Amino acid sequence: MKRASAIALDYRTPGAWLRVLYHALSMAKRVQGKVALVTGAGSGMGRAGATLLAAEGALVVVADINEEKGRRICQSINDAGNQAVFAALDVRSSEGVQRVVDETVSRFGRVDVLYHNAVDVRFVNEEDRRLTELPEETWDRMIDLVLNGTFRCCKYVGRQMVAQKSGSIILTATVDALIGCAGMDAYTAAKGGVVSVTRSFAAGMAKDGVRVNAICPGFVTTEPQMEWISRPEAKAMMAQLHLLPVATPEQIAPFVVYLASEESSAVTGGIFPIDSGYMAFKANVDLMGVASGQQ
pLDDT of residue 295: 56
Count how many domains the chain has: 1
User: Active site includes 187?
Assistant: yes
What's the count of helices (H) and strands (E) in the chain, helices before strands?
Answer: 13, 7
Global confidence as pTM: 0.85
In a domain, 17, yes or no: no
Domain, as residue range, for 266: 30-222+247-280
pLDDT digits (tens, 9 = 90+) for 196-233: 999 999 999 999 999 999 999 998 988 877 777 778 88
Measured between alpha carbons, how far is 180 from 274 in angstroms, rounded to an integer? Answer: 17
In a domain, 145, yes or no: yes
In a domain, 54, yes or no: yes
Backbone angles phi, psi at 47, to 5 degrees: -60, -50
CATH number for the domain that contains residue 91: 3.40.50.720
In a domain, 195, yes or no: yes
Where b means 16+ CB within 10 Å and e means fewer, 48-65 reads bbbbbbbbbbbbbbbbbb
Please report how many Cα atoms fall inside a 13 Å half-sphere around the Cα of residue 77, on the Cβ side: 30
In the set 11, 187, 258, 278, the catalytic residue is: 187
Query: Would you place residue 234 in the very low, low, confident or very high pLDDT band (cuts 50, 70, 90)?
Result: confident
In a domain, 130, yes or no: yes
In a domain, 6, yes or no: no
Measured between alpha carbons, how far is 56 from 53 in angstroms, rounded to an integer? Answer: 5
In a domain, 175, yes or no: yes
In a domain, 292, yes or no: no
pLDDT of residue 18: 58
Q: At residue 72, does pLDDT exceed 80?
A: yes
Dihedral sign, Cα of residue 200, residue 204, residue 206, residue 210: negative
